[in-house]
Structure formats: structure tokens, C-alpha cells
Amino acid sequence: MEFLDKLVIPQPDYNLNLLNYFLILGLTIFLAYSGVLFGSMTLSVYFRNKSKKATDNNAKLSRDYADLITDNWIYSFGLGIVPLLSIIFIYTQLLHKQPVAIVTYLTIAFLFYLISLLLVHKYKKSLHLSLLFSALKNKVGESDEVSAEIESLNNSTNTTKGMTGTWSVVLLFISMWIFVGAVTFAMNPDSWVFGNSLTVLFSGASILKFLQFITAALAFTAISFVFRNLYWDAERKHYTEEYVEYAKNFNLWLALVTGLILPIFIVASLFIIPKTSLNPQIFAAVLLSLLLLLVILQQIYLVLKGNKNSFIRYAFYSFIVVFFLMAFIDKAAFSVGNRAHVLVLDQEYKVHKEEFLASLGIEAAPIDGAEIYTGRCAACHRDEDSPLAPAHKNIMQKYLDQADPLTALVQFIQNPTPVNPQWSPMPNQGLTPQEAQAVAEYMLEKYSTK
Ligand code: HEC
């Protein structure tokens, strides 16, 4: 995405690391909201197809699902569109100059998402309209002219309802699949070389992650339904007892079954994270999410058997934490894989800063090779070989013997490679090209006489 790349502002590494935390936040909100949106729309369409007339339990359930989190456009905007745009922007920053089209995939997902949101809101309206029409039809006499009018309006509303409902689910499905696939793809830099749009959608890793998303989405939808309609708003709802029983049983069983399957996917996702990216934090997050799911299942069971609807709130809040942990696992896997690249971007920032200051007429502080050497290198490189690093006097001859000692030295300093197994490899010191040049010049001057 060329034009998005123009928005990239060079950032120092500490800002880039901060972006990682915003990424977790964005992913948590977006996946939790879109999960419920996807789950509730799917179930709404399912029960609409099952219902025989506009007033039976299935039709009611269909409307309640459609209303679950669509009260207002603001929700879709604040919990769907804004987080998704932030996620795209963060990936644009973090993957700037990486040879991978993650941002393009995310942008395609965004377009599908937007159209699907429009349809969702249209669908919801037509569901309620069709209830109105069917009530009106009963009120108005058969032979009336008005009745024919209502009939034709009712028919067209039913067509809209059918079309918008089905298409909103299909588009949301595609959008989330691409989204989850792209985020999964980003976690594994090794796959970028041979990866393409097919990898994004059909790799084992993407499919596994997408199944994890669907399972979590259905579980959280069911819990949210009980939380909102049978606990939070229960007073205002005027449900019949029979309907409450019906809605509660269906949702709690759905939550139980999907809640039991979800841990399988969470554990399995450990196997698709590149081994080099696995770290104790990821294992801790997996363990914690399994424990939380256990608590959630227990709460659901209590509501089901003990009839204490208020327990559902613990399940609801805990599930948001589960979404957070799942986002954390994905983000952690991604940022370990991307760490080296953050250093590259950090260098770019330093160059950019100098250019910027220079353009303002502010001379950057003169770079002093000797100062950098004592400040940054002498910590490891002593006068004699130490367990930390070789003494420079012992390795410099190799460089002095080369045709172009300066270039060779600068190259090593900017991009150290393992040389002598006696020492561990030297960590990249993150110097700008100018700084590396200055230190190298200083070292050559200091050691060329010896
Ligand atoms: C954290 C410790 C550490 C710091 C700080 C450090 N180095 Fe090193 N450096 C090493 C180690 C360890 C080696 C040996 C690496 C090897 O043999 O694989 C090494 C090796 C080298 C070599 C020799 C490479 C060769 O071809 O054998 C050069 C040159 C060098 N460092 C320059 C620098 C400069 C310049 C700085 C400061 C900007 C610096 N180092 C800072 C640990 C460090």
C-alpha cells in the first residue's frame, strides 16, 4: 500500500515498542467486538430461517441476536472501524520496508468489513420492520386496500431481510478470515519468502487461527447474550418465561460446547508459532487463558444448573481477558519475529532526525569517534582479551590487511556476524552509519601504528 507507506513517521525503537502495546489493545477490542458481531449475525440469520412466523421464539431470538451489539452506529465505529484502522496503521509502521504485503491484506479485509457493517445495520432495521408489518397485517381487515399495500411492503422488506442478512454474514466471514490470516502470516517471517495470498487464507496456521476465532466468537456471543438480555437488561425486556428458558438453554449450551473446544485451539496455536519466537511469556499467557476458561465454564454451568443468572457476569468479564490473552500471544509471537527489523527502523529514525535538524539549520552535535568508543565499546572491549570480548589490538590486523579497512570495519560494526566461537556473537550496537564511520576511523587511527 504505497499511500499508507507515506504516512509512516520514522520512530525510535522505544516508540515502536510502545506501538506493540497498542497493537494488543487494538486486537483485543477488535476481535472481541467483531467476534460478537459475527456470532450474533450468524445466529440471527440461522434462527430467522428456522422461524415460521414473525412472533415465534425463533423469530424473537433472531431479533435479539441482531440487536445484541448494534444499538447504535457509534459501537460499530468505535469498537470495529477505529480499532481496525489503528491496527492497519500500526502494522504499516512496524513492517515499513519489509518485503511482505500484510498491510494490503488487512486493507482488503477492512473493505469487506465496511460493506458488511452497512448490511448489518440494514438487516437489523428490516427485521424490526417485518415484525411491524406482520402486526399491522393482523390489525387491518382482509379486504382493505391498505392490506394490499402492507402485503407488498412486507414482501419487499422480507427480501431485503434475506439478502442483507445472508450477505452481511458472508462478507464478515471473508473479512475476518483475511484479517486473521494476515495477522497469523505476520507472525512467521520465514514464510514471507514463499508466502502469498493463498498462504494467508489456506495455510494450516491460518485455518487453525481462524477456527480459534470462530469458536471464541460463538462462545462470547452466547455469553454476551445471556449477560445482556437475561441479566443486565433483564428488567426492561418483558420476556415470557417460556422464551427466557428457550434462549437461556440454547445460549448456555452453545457457550459450554464452544468453551470446551476453545482450549484445544489455544494449545494448538503454540505449535504454529516459530520455535525461535516462543518465550516464557507466551507459555504463561496460554496457561492463564486455560485457567480462565475453566473458571468461565464453571460459571456457565452454575447459571445453567443453579439458575443464578448473575454469575454470567464473571464469565463475561473473564472472556474479555481471554481475548486479551489471545491477542497478547499473537502480538508476542509477531514482535519477537520482527525485533531485528525494529532496530533497522530505529536507525532510519536516527538518520531522519539528523536530516530534519540539519534542515532547520541546527547542526547535530559533532560525532566523536573516541567518545562513542569509550562509551559504547570499551564496556566489552578491554585492553586485553576478556571473557566478554577480544581486545581490539588482537583482531585489528585482519582489517588493516584488507584493501579497504574502513569499509570492512564499518560493515562489521553495523552488522556484526559471529567470528570466533571463543566468544558469543557481538550484539548489534545500533549505531547510525555516521557513528559507525566515526568509531571505525578512530579505531584505525589508534591501531594502525601498532
Ligand atoms: C556487549 C559486548 C560488546 C560491545 C558493547 C561491543 N562489542 Fe565488539 N565484540 C564483542 C564480542 C563478544 C566480539 C567477538 C565476536 C566473535 O568473535 O564472534 C566482538 C568483536 C568485535 C570486533 C572484531 C570482529 C572480528 O572480525 O573478529 C570488532 C571490530 C568489534 N567487536 C568492534 C566493536 C565496536 C566498534 C564496538 C562499539 C561500537 C563494540 N565492538 C562493542 C562484544 C561487544
pLDDT at 292 over 60: yes
Cα of 379 from ligand 1 centre, angstroms: 10
- For the segment 409-415, the average pLDDT, to the nearest whole number, is 91
Q: How confident is the model at residue 54 (pLDDT cuts 50, 70, 90)?
A: confident
pLDDT at 130 over 60: yes
Q: If you take atom 38 of ligand 1, which residue's CA is the nearest one?
A: 377
- Mean pLDDT: which of 7-21, 63-77, 281-295 is highest? 281-295
Q: Is 427 in the pocket of ligand 1 (CB under 6 A)?
A: yes
Cα of 267 from ligand 1 centre, angstroms: 40
What's the confidence (pLDDT) of residue 363?
67
Domain for residue 193, yes or no?
yes
Q: Is 436 in the pocket of ligand 1 (CB under 6 A)?
A: no
- Among residues of the chain, what percentage have pLDDT more than 90? 49
How far apart CA 330 and CA 402 sit, in angstroms, is: 46
Q: If you take atom 41 of ligand 1, which residue's CA is the nearest one?
A: 377
Total of domains in the chain? 2
Q: Is 420 in the pocket of ligand 1 (CB under 6 A)?
A: yes
Cα of 433 from ligand 1 centre, angstroms: 16
Q: Is 378 in the pocket of ligand 1 (CB under 6 A)?
A: no
Least confident interval from 44-58, 191-205, 260-274, 315-329:
191-205
What's the confidence (pLDDT) of residue 156?
87
pLDDT at 89 over 80: yes
What's the confidence (pLDDT) of residue 364?
63
Give yes or no for a contact between 26 and 187, defined as CB atoms under 8 angstroms apart. Answer: no
Which of the pair, 135 or 82, is modelled with greater confidence? 82
Domain for residue 348, yes or no?
no
pLDDT at 401 over 60: yes
pLDDT at 13 over 70: yes
Cβ-based neighbours of 116, under 8 Å, separated by 6 or more: 167, 168, 171, 172, 175
Query: Same domain, yes or no, for 188 and 294?
Result: yes
Cα of 426 from ligand 1 centre, angstroms: 5
pLDDT at 340 over 80: no
Domain for residue 356, yes or no?
no
Domain for residue 349, yes or no?
no
Which of the pair, 164 or 277, is modelled with greater confidence? 164
Query: Same domain, yes or no, for 132 and 219?
Result: yes
Q: Is 426 in the pocket of ligand 1 (CB under 6 A)?
A: yes
Domain for residue 292, yes or no?
yes
Cα of 90 from ligand 1 centre, angstroms: 34
Query: Which residue from 392, 409, 410, 426 has its CB within 8 A of the most atoms of ligand 1, so it is best to mutate?
Result: 426
pLDDT at 224 over 90: yes
Query: Same domain, yes or no, for 20 and 150?
Result: yes
Domain for residue 346, yes or no?
no
How far apart CA 106 and CA 406 sit, in angstroms, is: 44
How far apart CA 305 and CA 295 sit, in angstroms, is: 15
Domain for residue 354, yes or no?
no
Give yes or no for a contact between 112 and 28, defined as CB atoms under 8 angstroms apart. Answer: no
Q: Which ligand 1 atom sits closest to the C-alpha of 376?
A: 37
Query: Same domain, yes or no, for 181 and 40?
Result: yes
What's the confidence (pLDDT) of residue 192?
80
Give yes or no for a contact between 347 and 430, defined as CB atoms under 8 angstroms apart. Answer: yes
- For the segment 315-340, the average pLDDT, to the nearest whole number, is 90
- For the segment 70-93, the average pLDDT, to the nearest whole number, is 92
Query: Same domain, yes or no, for 307 and 440?
Result: no
Q: If you take atom 8 of ligand 1, which residue's CA is the nearest one?
A: 426
Give yes or no for a contact between 437 and 410, defined as CB atoms under 8 angstroms apart. Answer: yes
Q: If you take atom 37 of ligand 1, which residue's CA is the nearest one?
A: 377
Which of the pair, 144 or 136, is modelled with greater confidence? 136
pLDDT at 139 over 90: no
Residue type (1 letter), 410: V
Q: Is 390 in the pocket of ligand 1 (CB under 6 A)?
A: yes
Q: Which ligand 1 atom sits closest to the C-alpha of 398?
A: 26
pLDDT at 249 over 90: yes
Q: Which ligand 1 atom sits closest to the C-alpha of 399?
A: 26
Query: Same domain, yes or no, for 394 and 329?
Result: no
Cα of 371 from ligand 1 centre, angstroms: 16
Average pLDDT, the chain: 89
pLDDT at 98 over 60: yes
What's the confidence (pLDDT) of residue 76?
92
Which of the pair, 19 or 80, is modelled with greater confidence? 80
Query: Same domain, yes or no, for 388 and 287?
Result: no
Which of the pair, 341 or 175, is modelled with greater confidence? 175
How far apart CA 367 and CA 431 sit, in angstroms, is: 11
- For the segment 206-233, the average pLDDT, to the nearest whole number, is 95
What's the confidence (pLDDT) of residue 322?
97
Cα of 336 from ligand 1 centre, angstroms: 23
CATH number for the domain including 389? 1.10.760.10
What residues make up the domain containing 426?
365-448
Least confident interval from 191-205, 366-380, 411-425:
191-205
How far apart CA 355 and CA 52 sit, in angstroms, is: 70
What's the confidence (pLDDT) of residue 82?
96
Q: If you take atom 36 of ligand 1, which residue's CA is the nearest one?
A: 377
Q: How confident is the model at residue 449 (pLDDT cuts 50, 70, 90)?
A: low
